[in-house]
Chain A
Amino acid sequence: MSNLVQIAYLISSVLFIIGIKLLGKTKDARKGNVISAVGMLVAIAATLVNLNLATFPEMLAAMLLGGAIGLYYAKKVEMTQIPEMVALFNGFGGLASLGVALSDHFLKTQVQAVEIDMVNSVSIIASVLIGGVTFTGSIVAWLKLNGKMSGQPITFKGQHALNLILLISFLVISVFTHLNQVDPMYITLLVVVALLVGILIVIPIGGADMPVVISLLNSYSGMAACATGFILNNNVLIVAGSLVGASGIILTQIMCKAMNRSLTNVLLGGFGQTVAGPAADGPQIVIKEVGVEEAAMLFDSASSVLVVPGYGMAVAQAQHVIRELMEQCEKRNIDFRFAIHPVAGRMPGHMNVLLAEANISYDKLIEMEAINDDFPNTDIVFVVGANDVVNPAARTNPASPIYGMPILNADKARTVIVSKRSMGKGYAGIENELFGYPNCLMLFGDAKQTITKVVGEMKEMS
């Protein structure tokens, strides 16, 4: 590889680093993304310089096809569907790394007929494992997120034993793959096992644990790229891959902390399955309903409102009517802000994107630590499609499965209005005692429809 290409890769690596750095500041983030994209272009251009030009037409065709699909999806996707898109793209990244690893293996064994040395062999095998797991794991996550597969955890007896057996057999087959490089059977078996492990890792994880899973798969897709870098002896792949790997791991940690659970606990899965029973024996919760007119009057007479959005808001597509509610309140000089729990939604920062889409200024969105002391001084807390993140049982009931999870102190407000489709339980399958509190009122119905009515009432008042 020529020195010039190496220098171009160095420039590209630096551009990725600058890009990610700028992505950390709200006003520079868009520029950061562009810089990182330029870094990618530099890497692609530098690679092409060194390659056989005779193969350029098929490269162009493949890139045009991939680019068109990517662009189409990126333009068409709804903001509520971003988690599933990221999950799917993580999977593509994983499969691409797996493809590169296999290609290198077959090139050396079938075309060039050279022996693959130990380091290369280990890199190829690592790339197959991480890439394969990322691919099928992401596909399962994608299916769970878009509802084509139940979000319920799927567990069966001997699941962990099976995973262990698969991992051990992967190691054993790896040795055979290295010793019998020419026989394609062994590497094919490796691919099959890796794909199986990916499925088995994600099926026991419940829908609302998806923020953790997507973050983790994001990290894996970076690590897969990294492993590919070791195969090709290429630094830019390693730099970019490890940046993504590190990013995914940090987000995973943040998500786990916000749920007060360890990563092992999330990955072992089955959360929320066993707790449905005792809830039925507990004291019956007596709730108070509120109608849209009364709710509108309550908003009208408040001086401060805090909205707690959750995944239900995304499902109901209620973010735009919430902005209208905000406009009505601000007309009346009511302080109107949003309290964002780190695991609200199906991926880190999901609520922020939806509210940004509804044209709500980002300085209105306050993080949990910064807002939690403000609840006691707030007139109305409006919970839209959130449940477990405002369940006081996390503070008070050591028997609750969510005990110890940091929550938004919504119950401390003077009045809590909960917009909810029905009295169904949160994903954890547990009763929310907040709904029975004397200061809590339930506003039943589809969030978008009921809030539209509330806004209508408020418009008539003024």
Chain B
Amino acid sequence: MDASALIILIYVLVLASYLGFELITKVPPTLHTPLMSGSNAISGITIVGALIATSELGFTTLSKWMGLLALVLATINVVGGYAVTDRMLKMFKKK
């Protein structure tokens, strides 16, 4: 990777982190548990990397198997995370 590509990535990292701090500070304590399981699901974005890693042809290489393992785990994270967050948020009611 050349320096200019790296700088763009760092640029994105810094701005997104700052935005994250601004957004999360405003979440009320009542919602902290769903926030955590919801953001847990978002961290399953590694699934993108896992898909790319799995797209290697054949089953003979270590890299392919590592990709498959990562893909299973990341999907658990994504599907389970969103599903349980939805289950929790469904219960938050005001009467």
Contact = CB atoms under 8 A, between A and B. Distances in A.
Interface of A: 13, 16-17, 19-21, 23-24, 26-27, 29-30, 32-34, 36-37, 40, 43-44, 47-48, 51-52, 54-55, 58-59, 62-63, 65-67, 69-71, 73-75, 77, 79, 82, 85-86, 89-90, 92-93, 95-100, 102-107, 110-111, 117, 119-120, 214-215, 218, 221-222, 224-226, 228-251, 254, 340, 342, 347-350, 352-353, 356-357, 359, 361-363, 365, 367
Given A62-B54, A79-B88, A244-B39, 10 more contacts: A16-B42, A52-B55, A71-B83, A93-B40, A107-B61, A110-B62, A111-B63, A235-B9, A239-B12, A361-B95
Contacts of A119: 1, 6
Contact of B43 (A48, A100, A221): A221
Contacts of A251: 24, 32, 35-36
B54 A96 contact: no
Interface string B64-94: 1011111111111111111111111111111
Contacts of A19: 38, 42
A245 B57 CA distance: 33
A353 B44 contact: no
Looking at A54, A102, A110, A244, the one whose CB has the most chain B CB atoms below 10 A away is A244
Given A70-B79, A119-B1, A353-B88, A86 B19 contact: no
B87 A246 contact: no
B16 A243 contact: yes
Nearest to A232: B49
Interface of B: 1, 5-6, 8-9, 12-13, 16-21, 23-57, 59, 61-64, 66-95
A232 B27 CA distance: 31
Nearest to A352: B30
Contacts of B9: 229-230, 233, 235, 238
Interface centre among B1, B17, B46, B68 (most CB of A within 10 A): B46
Given A242-B13, A349-B30, A47 B36 contact: no
A349 B35 contact: yes
Contact of B34 (A33, A67, A342): A33
A29 B34 contact: yes
B21 A246 contact: yes
A233 B5 contact: yes
Contacts of B92: 26, 29-30, 352, 356, 362
Contacts of B64: 103
A82 B37 contact: yes
B1 A55 contact: no
B39 A40 contact: no
Contact of A347 (B36, B45, B66, B94): B36
Contacts of A107: 53, 56, 61, 63
Contact of A99 (B39, B69, B83, B84): B69
A380 to B, nearest CB: 22
B36 A103 contact: no
B93 A362 contact: yes
Contact of B38 (A36, A99, A224, A350): A36
A36 B41 contact: yes
A44 B82 CA distance: 15
A407 to B, nearest CB: 16
Contact of A93 (B51, B77, B89): B77
A147 B31 CA distance: 26
Given A21-B23, A86-B36, A238 B12 contact: yes
Contacts of B74: 66, 92-93, 96
Contacts of B77: 66, 70, 89, 92-93, 96
